[in-house]
Structures are given as C-alpha cells and as structure tokens.
Amino acid sequence: MMDVKGKRVLVCGMARSGIAAARLLCELGAKVTISDLKEESAFDGQLAFLHDMDCAFALGQAPDAYIPQQDVMVISPGIAWAKPFVQSAIAQGVEVIGELELGARLSRGELVAITGTNGKTTTTTLVGEIFKASGRRTHVVGNIGYPITATAGISTDADVTVAEVSSYQCEGISTFHPRVGAVLNITEDHIVRHGSMEVYIAMKRRIFANQTDRDVAVFNYDDATCREMAKGLRGRVAWFSRTQKVDCGAYVEDGRIVLDFDGVRKTVCRADEVFIPGPHNLENALAAVVITGAMGVPTDVMAGVLRTFRGVEHRIETVRELGGVTWINDSKGTNVDSTQKAIATMTRPTVLILGGSDKKVSFDPLAETIIAAPQIEHCVLIGDTAEQIRAALDRVGYRAYTMTGYDFDACLAACRSLARPGGCVLLSPACASFDMFKDYEDRGRIFKEKVMAL
C-alpha cells in the first residue's frame, strides 16, 4: 500500500471523487490542500467537515500557485491530463495521479476493473451482486457514482473491489493492477476529450498494462476492436460471445449460457432466464460470468443472480404506465451505440426522446437504425444536438419528428400526445446531458419526477 502519512497532497476538483479522496488522505495523515475553481459557498456545506480535519482550502482560484509545495497531486476524472496546470505539475516533478489510481493504491483485497463504451454500469453492478451472493465482502465503485477512495480505507485483504472504469479515469492511472480486467465493447465516444478514436482505445487498454500471466483480461469476441485490443497482453485472455463458441470464456450454446474455463465446461443457466432484457444485456451477463468464473465463483451462484437481477437506475428503467403507455428512463443512453441497443429492446410502438450536449459524433448510424425500426413511430428532439439529429433523420427520409428545443416540459407534453395506448415513451438521448442538466442521473431523475407528476 501507498504510505501517504506526512505527504503534501493537492486534490484538484471537488466533485464526489475529490471529496472522498480528500477525506481518505486526511484520515491517513496526509497534509491535504483542496482546490477547485468554485468558491466554498457553491458546495452547500459539503466541504465543511474538511475544516475539522486540518485540510487547507484553496478554492475559487486556479491551483498553479500551490503546485510547487506538493509531493502528489490528485486530479478528478473531469480534469483532462492535457490541462496546462497538470502538465506544469509534471514538469515540476510533482507526481500526478487520478482518484482511481489513488484508491487502488490504498485498497486491500482483489481488484476487478470493467470498462468499455456501453454496459459498464450494468455489468459492474451485476458482477458485484454475484460476488456478494458468493459470500465475499464486495465494494462496487468507480465511474458508477461511488468513488473508490470512499471504500479503500475500510477494505480488507479478503475483500473484492469491483470498479467501473471510464476512459477519463484511465488517463490518471500508472500502477493500477486488476486481478481481472474487462473491455465490454468499443464504439465512437468521447472524441472531444481524447481527440481521436485511437487515443480513446489506447486509454481503455491501459487497465491491462500492469497485469501479469497470473491475471485475466476479458474481451467481447463479437467486437472486432476488442479482438485487436487483446493482442500482445501479458494477462491470460478470456472471451465472451453471444454469437459463437469461444475456447476460453462464456458463450451461448443451444440456448444456454456455458462457461468454459481452465478446461472445465459448465452450464450456468438458460439464456432466456437472464432477467434483464435485450441482447446487449445478455452480453453483459456473459461478461459477468467470465469475470466471476475466473475468480472461482460457483455457477449456481451466478445463475441465481442472473435470474433475479433487475438492472440499474437510468438504464431501460420502467417508470410507470399511464393511460396504457409505458414510460421508460434510459438516461444512461449517452451515446449512439447505447441508444441503438435500447431501440433493439423495444417491442411496442415507441416515441423516442433524443438529443443533448454535443460529443462531436455522427448521428447517421442512429438515423439508419431508427428508419429500419418500425417500432419507433416518432422522435422528439431536444437540446444542443436537436438540429444535428434532425438533419441525420432527414438524410435517411425519416420525417416523424418534433422539435421542442430546451423545454423539457414541452417535450414530455409532445410525447404524451403522440404515444398510443399499448406503446412506450423512451428517453434514450444518445447524447450527454450537460446542455440542460447536471449529468445523466439528474436528467433521469427529473424525467421520472415529471412523468410521475403527469
């Protein structure tokens, strides 16, 4: 474990991960300074406890003046590695790490890391539930919304920590070493942050950098990019596939989920017994089977959880039925591929809410999916990208759309008038949320509140 007692540590970015990191570092005896461009008054008292922990405050200003006095700088995932003050700290010899790296260094027990473009939260939660059902004390952390530094201080050698890892978090890792790492899929995303798909993919692949031949690297065999990413790794490679048999991993055969690992082949359960719907969730279930199987969880434990796990908030989550119309919250559909997967699960006439903040990706593949999906009867377009999506729909000849700008109430009113009894309204925006909401969780909560008030 990393020894931080007496170390001078600057924590930059006071969102959830920054607050958790500062608390942990103070508890371990570090000399902590917290930094954020926002004044303390903007945090509604969330930082008050840090005054009692002898933490120094450097809020409402850039951190540059504080960097020379530090041994370590911890940055939140929202701060890009390319920021001038980050590069300045590196040039001055200050060790710069991300909150995920800090938490991993200070955690005990085994670490599992799950990344990919889509399905991370569902798979991470599912893996956590399987480990818990097997009797292991489990911490489910990371990009899922609960920082790893919130549990690192209470972890023990017998625990397992399951971390959802984003490409943003991968920028700040160096010694990060999961016993099992997994990439679920790769599609176009986060080009604004990383600049290119090549860099985005390279960031994801970093979770395997410190693995040895005693560790396991899990990939989606049905994803061509994943197959390329698996080449040249030191960890043992295992696969999951929804479409074909694999030599080492999990797959579907004769309608059953099969785990083939260490030369032992076992049936887990029928594929149609997986409670959460859709082909993408079958892939998530297969990934969970490989990950937990690689760490010795019995297949009957896996099967019990797969049959009962009901998914996560904001991911194809039924909110209510009103006047024969089912309202569904898929606010976690923050990119094109995720929304395409949500569309594939719809079996009834659907009004689809699309749009949000711009991630500089093409909506043409989404438009092609929509015009080929007879269940999508109408689209209601909102936010910064509404015009881009409209243009993409026009290009494929799809005209059944309504523009409601930045008025979410008008959007829901339009959906209510358009949806037919026996049908659905699906919020799956294919975009980030920052044009109209704090984050995708805020968007989903507001959607549910407003739908429940109809």
- Convert the pLDDT of each residue in 226-270 to its tens digit: 999 999 999 999 999 999 999 999 999 999 999 999 999 999 999
Which pLDDT band, with edges at 50, 70 and 90, does 188 fall under? Answer: confident
**Strand-by-strand arrangement of the 95-98 sheet:** 56-59, 31-36, 8-12, 72-75, 95-98
Distance CA 12, CA 297 (A): 38
Question: Cα dihedral sign for 308, 312, 313, 314?
Answer: negative
> In this structure, which amino acid lies at residue 86?
V
pLDDT at 360: 87
pLDDT at 76: 93
Q: What is the pLDDT of residues 286-330, one digit of tens each?
A: 999 999 999 999 999 999 999 999 888 888 899 999 999 999 999
Angle, vertex CA 434, rays to CA 164 and CA 118, nearest 5: 30
pLDDT at 191: 66
Structure tokens at 174: 């160096």
pLDDT at 190: 66
In a 13 Å sphere around the CA of 271, the CA atoms on its Cβ side amount to 21
DSSP state of 40: G
Residue 39 has pLDDT above 80, yes or no: yes
Structure tokens at 93: 């010899």
Residue 165 has pLDDT above 90, yes or no: yes
Using alpha carbons, list the distances in angstroms from residue 416 to 224, 238, 249, 318, 320. 40, 46, 45, 16, 13
What domains are defined for the chain? Answer: 8-98 (3.40.50.720), 107-308 (3.40.1190.10), 317-453 (3.90.190.20)
Containing H/E element for 139? strand 138-142
pLDDT at 310: 87
Neighbour tally for 300: CB within 10 Å: 11
Contacts of 99 (CB under 8 A, 6+ apart): 17, 18, 20, 21, 74, 75, 76, 77, 147, 148, 149, 169, 172
Which pLDDT band, with edges at 50, 70 and 90, does 195 fall under? Answer: confident
Which pLDDT band, with edges at 50, 70 and 90, does 277 fall under? Answer: confident
Contacts of 189 (CB under 8 A, 6+ apart): 117, 167, 200, 335, 337, 359, 361
pLDDT at 172: 85
In a 13 Å sphere around the CA of 407, the CA atoms on its Cβ side amount to 10
